[in-house]
């Protein structure tokens, strides 16, 4: 599955599109990470646990979007956008959406 965030897949021709596809994920951290983060707040530096949490969320969101595109019969997703919001305390929510297309 080719994923791009420009309008086309460079070097290929889009022959058909299937409309919007999206993938959504919401993950929470556990108390261990929370405590470590509060401690890190005092000394500064990268919060590796949170970085890992967010990249996991991103990966899962894109995975779900890909799965939905595959169900429609597409082989590429173009013009992908990410959106995030805070809906729950201490949870990272990520939404990825794009247009499923068939390229040749």
Partner 1 sequence: MYDLLLILGLIALGYFSGTWVEKRHYRSIIQRETELLPLPAVTFKTMDYAPETIAGSRMVTGSAVISIDYFKRFLASLRNIFGGTVKSYESLLDRARREALLRMKAEARDADIILNVRIETASIGRTAHRRSVGCLEAVAYGTAVRLKKTSAAP
Partner 2 sequence: MKYIPRRPKTNVNVTPASPLRELLILTGGLAAITVGVYLLLGLVVDWVAPRLSGDLERKLGVVFTRTLDIAPDSSQNRKWAQGLADRIQARCVNLPYQFKIHINPSKKVNALAFPGGNIVVCQGLLDQVASENELAFVLCHEMGHYAHQDHLRGLGRTMILMAMATLIFGQDSGVADFLIQSIGLAELNFSRQQETEADEFGLQTLHCFYGHVGGSTDFFAKISADHNPGRWGHYFSTHPANERRIARLKSLARELGYDVAPVKTLPAFLNVQQ
User: Where does this chain bind partner 1 (CB under 8 A)?
Assistant: 7-8, 17, 19-20, 22, 24-31, 33, 60, 78-81, 83, 85-91, 93, 95, 97-99
When asked if residue 14 is in the footprint of partner 2 (CB under 8 A), the reply is yes
Reduced to 3 states (helix: H, G, I; strand: E, B; else coil), residue 11 is: coil
Q: Is there a contact between 36 and 104 (Cβ–Cβ < 8 Å)? A: no
Closest contact distance (angstroms) between CB of 65 and partner 1 is 11
CA distance 98 to 78: 6
As a 3-state breakdown, the chain gives helix, strand, coil percent values, each rounded to 5, of 35, 40, 25
CB 14, min distance to partner 1, A:
9
23 touches partner 2 by CB under 8 A: yes
Which of residues 3, 4, 17, 54 is near partner 2 by CB under 8 A? 17
31 scored as a contact of partner 2 (CB under 8 A)? yes
Q: b/e for 52-63, b at 16 or more Cβ within 10 A?
A: ebbeebbebbbe
Residues that bind partner 2 (CB under 8 A): 14-19, 21-24, 31, 64-65, 67-68, 71-73, 101-102
């Amino acid at each position: 599955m080719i994923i791009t965030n420009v309008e086309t897949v460079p070097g290929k021709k889009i022959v058909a599109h299937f409309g919007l596809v999206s993938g959504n994920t919401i993950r929470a951290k556990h108390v261990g990470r929370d405590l470590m983060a509060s401690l890190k707040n005092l000394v500064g530096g990268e919060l590796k646990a949170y970085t890992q949490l967010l990249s996991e969320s991103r990966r899962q969101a894109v995975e779900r979007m890909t799965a939905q595109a595959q169900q429609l019969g597409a082989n590429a997703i173009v013009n992908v956008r990410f959106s995030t919001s805070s809906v729950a305390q201490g949870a990272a929510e990520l939404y990825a959406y794009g247009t499923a297309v068939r390229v040749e």
